[in-house]
Amino acid sequence: MAGSDKTTMQVNIVAADHPVWHGEAKSVTIPAYEGGMGILPNHEPVLTVIKQGTVTVVEPDDDRHMFEVTDGFISFDSNKLTVAVERGRDVQYSTTEQ
């Protein structure tokens, strides 16, 4: 784990009553308080409030996960992203063509 290349990060999305998704990702877009915010691996540690919207996770093989979330917050440190929201659900699973 520790020796693997740092082009991906661990993502963990949890809702108040159940874990929604967790896995590897190479980029994540979150509905931050002042507009969308993209997070790439090795981002600086950050704790941000998020509002209702869509979290998009791009997996290492370019698979795209979309999650509809209510307000909550995210925290990122040591290449681990935690998205904690009141309610969240998986809305769409699509493979991009690029």
**Residues found near another protein in the complex (CB under 8 A):** 12, 14-19, 32-34, 37, 44-49, 71-73, 75, 77-78, 82, 84, 86-87
Minimum distance from residue 80 beta carbon to another protein (Å): 10
Closest CA to 57 of 4, 3, 2, 12: 12
Minimum distance from residue 57 beta carbon to another protein (Å): 16
Q: Three-class SS of residue 51?
A: coil
Q: Which is nearer to another protein, 46 or 62 (CB)?
A: 46
Q: Which is nearer to another protein, 26 or 87 (CB)?
A: 87
Minimum distance from residue 20 beta carbon to another protein (Å): 9
CA distance 43 to 97: 27
Q: Which is nearer to another protein, 17 or 61 (CB)?
A: 17
CA distance 6 to 67: 24
Closest CA to 52 of 70, 34, 38, 36: 70
Minimum distance from residue 18 beta carbon to another protein (Å): 4
Q: How many residues does the chain have?
A: 98
Residue type, 93: Y
